[in-house]
Amino acid sequence: MRNKPWAKDYVAEHTERLVEEPEPLKGKWQSRFPKDQPLYVEIGTGKGQFIVEMAKAHPDRNFIGIEIQFSVIAAALKKVVASELTNIQLVHTDGEAVNTFFAAGEIAGLYLNFSDPWPKSRHAKRRLTSPVFLAHYADVLQPEGAIQFKTDNRGLFEYSLGSLNNFGLVFDGVWLDLHAATDDVEDIQTEYEQKFSAKGPIYQVIAHFPT
């Protein structure tokens, strides 16, 4: 997404919704919400469709969307403001650093949706399901707190199953074609999911760290 001229001012006008310096909030994220409720985080939130729909569907939870690209999170911010929902906050930062701005056990669940595949093996460390990221997620997720990952990219999915397994995560479910699933698994669709599901299956895994 190209740089949006309106984005800088818009973000500056909505500091109640979007955090640019998350570290001081470590262990204190509930102070950003009207109600103290379980906290769910999405890394790579894109333009915010999933997090807004999740917040609408689950008023009894608080949500944080993390996005590294400024112009992209500015688009998410517009959606969040328009929704008038009070149970969403956005953070403009690199999700790899989650352990520097969440305290141990502060997060009840984590969503990774259509993460960038980084297909070259020399870039594997940048994948959101690489061991570097998993180690940081382990620091901040509550015991039994799940990682829910979905993608249309088979290569990234295979890599992620291996990576989660090697890290010792316990699998709660694996879907090789989520949209054909007959169980009643919740599937609030992301922007990429709507764009790419016509071209092939959507893969999903839900797993948690051993307790």
| Angle, CA 6 vertex, CA 29 and CA 85 arms, to 5° | 35
Distance CA 154, CA 170 (A): 21
In the complex with ligand SAM, the residue whose CB is nearer, 44 or 145, is 44
User: Looking at 9, 60, 94, 116, which residue is catalytic?
Assistant: 116
In the complex with ligand SAM, the residue whose CB is nearer, 97 or 176, is 97
CB of 156 to ligand SAM, least distance (A): 10
> Which residues contact ligand SAM by CB under 6 A?
43-46, 66-69, 72, 94-96, 113-116, 190-193
- The whole-angstrom distance between residue 45's C-alpha and the CA centroid of its chain comes to 6
CB of 36 to ligand SAM, least distance (A): 25
Distance CA 33, CA 31 (A): 6
Distance CA 115, CA 192 (A): 10
Q: Is 187 a catalytic residue?
A: no
CB of 78 to ligand SAM, least distance (A): 15
Distance CA 61, CA 54 (A): 9
